Structure 1
């Protein structure tokens, strides 16, 4: 169970916090001793937050009836722009359209590193969460220690696994004509493009012809808009981690569950 990050009873009646680079003043009303603070930004009223350390250990945002584990996220919820209801509606409509599309394919790739990485594990599921591809990939490249620390896939685990080129016919069969959904699609698509570049020996036309066999959707920005935690520093909705584990098919199913949550 989450706990409120400070002993709020020691906070006093007035304090300052900086959230995303912008100062926020929190004032406890004089007519209460409860752990309740009114938030102001640039003397403008944002709203009221309640610490719920004795119940569920969250910050309750009064105006929108939401609970957040961190005070900073409660403030971000109070900062939402007036367009947030419409932005959230668009995210919901988009998620429903994806889930209702029989062409939907969910993809996740675990890699040898973060930059210029090669595929190490590829997972594909359909819109029902059924695994279509669940394969370790021999990368023919070094696997960075930082990557192993995340997903636990060392080079030794892939010595008998197929290379990407061996999996390409199967991937082509599943992905051609499909609506491919990923979390941070630019990253996963970039890994595939790098692998194709190697497979087709830097033949740009063949690489692009393969990539154009399917369309790509990225759930990262719609999910951020649906959550609606506004960053004043970047003037956009704050990135939300998908959570889960570093395992390809499990991540596909985690994304599917998140899409179902957004669509309701």
Structure 2
């Protein structure tokens, strides 16, 4: 994959804006190699080397890390001093999650992003064994953009049972468990909406969901990667590399946690 930053075309001195803040890259005068010292104002961040012969093109010398994009290399150099301790806490958290007997992993595919309904619900145990994998009739339209991602057509959705059919089975699988997701607020909102339609009562839906503990892996994983946004003063969201298939996403999340630990 060619570098999106075209390192061979960069000059000896150039400025790049990363998350609304300028950084200045200066090639040392004693080399013609693709190497630059990086400054933010008068603050020296570190040195980067463009490695155009590898799949990851920017090597951060001071961190001994490689990144595909120069912007991410800069974000890594901007990490706060607290990152190392945070990184270790996330590693411990991942180990604890993977050894938690009550852990289940959840992913929900939906009709879209705006007021979504469930189209597929996947659930595995901590080893990736399938506990639940069902398509759901949303009793609503499926956005074409959503179908383009997960491949579930309106015809397929219409042939599936409605969510209400699965409520007792999901209660057996989820209640009393720790439920790991990636972007828990989204999945939880979808389930709450389905349960509210089923029970005709928001409080009952909330009580049903409160019988399991939702754990979101999105923020810990972003902190583990440690790509700091100076503009937002937080670690940048990291895509999981979704396959847009519920069970595959559950297993992908488990694989990611194994990398983290």
Under a length normalisation based on structure 1, what TM-score does the superposition of the two structures give? 0.97
Shift of 1:236: 0.4
Distance 1:129 1:13, change over 3 A: same
Deviations 1:1-43 (A, max 9, x none): x322244233221000000000000000001111000000012
Give yes or no for contact 2:139–2:158 (8 Å, CA) kept in 1. no
Q: Which residue of 2 aligns with 1:71?
A: 70
Q: Which residue of 2 aligns with 1:188?
A: 187
Under a length normalisation based on structure 2, what TM-score does the superposition of the two structures give? 0.98
Deviations 1:30-79 (A, max 9, x none): 01111000000012100000000023351000011111000000000000
For 2:189 and 2:6, how far apart are their aligned partners in 1? 46
Q: Which residue of 2 aligns with 1:262?
A: 260
User: For 1:222, which of 204, 209, 220 is the aligned residue?
Assistant: 220
Q: Which residue of 2 aligns with 1:42?
A: 41
Equivalences for 1:14-53 in 2 at 5 Å?
Answer: 14-53=13-52
Give yes or no for contact 2:104–2:177 (8 Å, CA) kept in 1. yes
Structure 1: gaps (5+ residues):
none
SS of residue matched to 2:17: strand
For 2:102 and 2:56, how far apart are their aligned partners in 1? 42
Equivalences for 1:53-92 in 2 at 5 Å?
Answer: 53-92=52-91
Deviations 1:191-219 (A, max 9, x none): 00000100001x23321220111001000
Give yes or no for contact 1:3–1:57 (8 Å, CA) kept in 2. no
Give the number of aligned pairs: 261
Distance 1:74 1:157, change over 3 A: same
Q: Which residue of 1 aligns with 2:173?
A: 174
In angstroms, what is the RMSD of aligned CA positions?
1.0
For 1:28 and 1:65, how far apart are their aligned partners in 2? 19
Deviations 1:77-129 (A, max 9, x none): 00000000011111111111111101000000000010210000000000000
Q: Which residue of 2 aligns with 1:197?
A: 196
Structure 2: gaps (5+ residues):
none
User: For 1:244, which of 239, 242, 245 is the aligned residue?
Assistant: 242
Deviations 1:206-249 (A, max 9, x none): 21220111001000000000000000010000100000310000
Deviations 1:137-158 (A, max 9, x none): 0110000111111111111012
Give yes or no for contact 2:49–2:58 (8 Å, CA) kept in 1. yes
